[in-house]
Chain A
């Protein structure tokens, strides 16, 4: 009986796991939806420039463009290693 309940509980999960995964990936997709086409290139080149001076990882840079009413804000976050 316990085994049956265990199996049933496991089964309940797959659809809700699917939902959670989709919510995350879809939110990510949408955040990139309104970005201008040059953003990936800009991100790559900025990383190159920073790397000339500091040795940072590929994923140490985070770039986003937020649009407000009449202006856009380009936000750039770089995590530098401690020793610099």
Chain B
């Protein structure tokens, strides 16, 4: 039986799709059979981040409406053996996503896979609620920024009430905080919320911290999840995050401010 992990945030643009792609890739690299599903019906982007946009034939809505089988719609990742992508529809509207349909798809997938990663759309509407409804665990992606933290708290409220686990009185969805776009230099200057403050406000356990990094844009430009860029700080931080999701105790990295030396500034050694 697969674990269902939803990557969610409330606010848009904080790095949900980047994180869903990076985490799914990391899980597959660790030998876990993984499928990552785009729930953003009408505005799919996971296919771009995963670099398979030209191989999309069928999508989640086609499967739900019986126009295609799961195996026809799932795209096998070019780089990692155990990884599959289930894209969202670009044309239909989000009402095409039915709870029964999603449940049926997830039921089938959990039999075959070790991990099902659901990439939630922004907001708290239908798409976002369905992405989280069947989840066992949730990765709440948060930027060190007031609107993102507030929206994350709203999402935590929904995870505690509007999920199958909550409604059926089972063990609650396991909530993890993933802080992205963290800039230790700005934190050091007192211009950015630090990770302890964010944790204190949201009071959930920290699964990972992704530093603000040029590697993230580079990765999305190329359609290669940043996990593959093991020279980059962000790539390494996602590998750490995946290890923690698998239950390993890994110390936090990239959260402390290191003053750049003059030499590294001159020669751009600080670029990662």
Contact = CB atoms under 8 A, between A and B. Distances in A.
Interface string B163-180: 000000000000000000
Given A15-B187, A22-B146, A22-B149, A33 B157 contact: yes
B98 interface: no
B76 interface: no
A15 B157 contact: no
Nearest to B187: A15
B153 A26 contact: yes
B167 to A, nearest CB: 14
A15 B150 contact: no
B251 to A, nearest CB: 24
A19 B157 CA distance: 19
Given A11-B190, A12-B190, A13-B190, A19 B201 contact: yes
Nearest to B189: A11
Interface residues of A, number: 16
Contacts of A83: none
Interface string A1-43: 0000000000111111011011101100110010000000000
B228 interface: no
Interface string B197-240: 10001100000000000000000000000000000000000000
Contacts of B201: 19, 22-23, 26
A29 to B, nearest CB: 6
B186 to A, nearest CB: 8
B146 A18 contact: yes
A27 B146 CA distance: 14
A81 to B, nearest CB: 35
B192 A29 contact: no
Interface in B135-150: 145-146, 149-150
A14 B191 contact: yes
Nearest to A32: B157
Contact of A22 (B150, B157, B161): B150
Given A18-B146, A19-B201, A22-B201, A29 B189 contact: no
Nearest to A19: B197
A14 B153 contact: no
Contact of A30 (B157, B193, B194, B197): B157
B190 A25 contact: no
A30 B150 CA distance: 11
A40 B92 CA distance: 34
A13 to B, nearest CB: 7
Contact of B193 (A11, A12, A15, A33): A15
Given A11-B189, A14-B190, A15-B193, 15 more contacts: A12-B189, A12-B190, A15-B190, A15-B191, A15-B192, A15-B197, A19-B193, A19-B197, A19-B201, A21-B146, A22-B150, A25-B150, A26-B150, A29-B150, A30-B157
Interface of A: 11-16, 18-19, 21-23, 25-26, 29-30, 33
14 contacts: A11-B189, A12-B189, A14-B190, A14-B191, A15-B194, A19-B201, A22-B201, A23-B201, A25-B150, A26-B150, A26-B201, A29-B153, A29-B157, A33-B160
A-B CB proximity, top 4 nearest: A12-B190, A33-B157, A19-B197, A26-B153
